[in-house]
Chain A
């Protein structure tokens, strides 16, 4: 029983990271109906930026903030330069551009920071010390950080005028434009926010899985699974889905399939959701009119 509790708690901790990447995916999906296959690589690049800043002598939290801001700007730039012309392109074209972006970022991180696996510092006190040893300091800290980020995002979208405008632009671009919302900029901001949230996820997961150019491939898969489980057009659902995937992954890894098949668990979740309930637990069922 204690083992189960331990697995659930550490599942929640990693689930928080999946939840933030899933949220980043859903934000872009909601606004553009594109799935950002490069989301993981963008987060990896951000994490490398953070590591460079920390190695240059900046205190952790300053480096953290700078990284979030830089990622935000990079996200906006990517939207402005690459994604804007692809707005109404067929699915294949947008997938192609995302895969191209994935390849470029992946190889340029390899180029700039080499392929060696690196350790990434954690700002939280080390060692298993909380909940009578169930959770390491970093796991708890990462959980708190992701919770803070998710709450901030929620408050931003719920209670600010800009958040409202962004939601409006995603929900109904034409009407929003008519009432004076600058839809194009709202999309760019969404990209910026998604990149920033992904950056936080990357910095939180790096101390656990270690940093290398392919660090996020697995994380992205769990985030996909979480987003689909919760409903890919529902941000809250995606967050809950992310946590659920974290818990399922840990329990299955411990009791069912062993750690070597954890990624397969994500694959099975994805296929199961798509077969049983393609709109996810909290998503809207899309009806197409004939």
Chain B
């Protein structure tokens, strides 16, 4: 067990224990939603940040995941934890199918298609033919699961621990994927698809699989979201869910694993603060911040922190190379921190 692994486990234990003991149920619920959104945004980051495909419709996969869980729990009494793998498989398959045309499309066309998908989803969910399963416009109400093994804690505390564990597994997996062979191939396609193809990468297959993986992540987030909120209805999965994920992605930093957590916190907490001004304010705040990030720090918050680190280290002329921890998820090792440091590219593609 390396030192980094030990630190990671310690951080995870601390993140599990401290808030559970200190925070009220409502604040724990909010933190749980941060994790849920972070997982959804992580799916988007794998697709957009590491593979260069833009999706404006990941709310659709969030909806599919949420409905899969809700239908299984409500109609078939499946235990909540068992619905997650089902959602993952369902979303990966649908993502693969939708990704199939995507491999023919350049960035904009995919953005357009997924945008269309997101606009159409509420209508599909409301449709009469699906009503026996989806509950139509009314949606479905599901029960909050009790803690297992008779543990003496509230359902909110248990759900927080559960979501955090699921999130930790998914983040670790994503981190391993993007720094491994597949991740390098994804990034090669993003940076120069022609060269990637010449190196023997099957572009079509990998792009579609990346889309499926990304849908899987967002689908699991949808499942967790449904369990935590205890309710699904067509109108809670409109185009704005997709747009908010996109905002969270860009604000956190597109090609950054840790940035997804920042993005998740952003879309959970900023509306709460902005809504005190007016009902319309969250949208406006999102819009302004989105444009400001595009102009001022295209790498998002994670990219900004990363470049600050790089500058600081250059300034101190430290000969020693230390691992950099980003945003609490452990290090993200896309090599921006080579000694003497190539400065992270301001074009918004390089992570950290």
Contact = CB atoms under 8 A, between A and B. Distances in A.
Nearest to B347: A90
Contact of B286 (A103, A221, A258, A263): A103
B123 A107 contact: no
A274 B127 contact: no
B123 A263 contact: yes
Contact of B116 (A82, A99, A221): A221
A97 interface: yes
Interface string B118-138: 011001101110000000000
A218 B295 CA distance: 29
B119 A35 contact: no
Interface stretch (B5-13, B82-90, B239-247, B308-316): B239-247
Given A108-B284, A274-B105, A93 B298 contact: yes
A212 to B, nearest CB: 13
B112 interface: yes
B257 interface: no
A251 to B, nearest CB: 18
A271 B280 CA distance: 33
| Interface residue SS majority, chain B | helix
Given A107-B282, A218-B119, A101 B113 contact: no
Contacts of B246: 96, 99
Contacts of A267: 113, 116-117, 119-120
A173 interface: no
A188 to B, nearest CB: 18
Contacts of A106: 283
Contact of A271 (B101, B254, B287, B294): B101
Interface in B70-121: 101, 104-109, 111-113, 115-117, 119-120
A100 interface: yes
A264 B120 contact: yes
A92 B278 contact: no
Given A90-B347, A91-B54, A275 B104 contact: yes
A85 B288 CA distance: 16
B348 A93 contact: yes
Nearest to A112: B280
B291 interface: yes
Given A102-B287, A108-B284, A278-B105, A270 B123 contact: no
Contacts of A102: 243, 287
Nearest to B101: A275
A90 B108 CA distance: 11
Interface string B50-70: 000010100000000000000
Contact of A111 (B127, B243, B284, B298): B284
B127 A261 contact: yes
A274 B104 contact: yes
Nearest to B123: A263
A92 B119 contact: no
B290 A100 contact: yes
Interface string B240-273: 0001001100100010000000000000000000
B255 to A, nearest CB: 10
B3 interface: no
A221 B119 contact: yes
B194 interface: yes
B288 A270 contact: no
B123 to A, nearest CB: 5
29 contacts: A35-B112, A90-B348, A92-B107, A95-B54, A96-B246, A96-B290, A96-B291, A97-B291, A97-B294, A99-B287, A99-B290, A100-B286, A100-B288, A102-B243, A102-B287, A103-B286, A104-B284, A104-B288, A107-B280, A111-B281, A111-B284, A221-B120, A258-B128, A260-B127, A264-B124, A267-B120, A270-B112, A275-B101, A290-B194
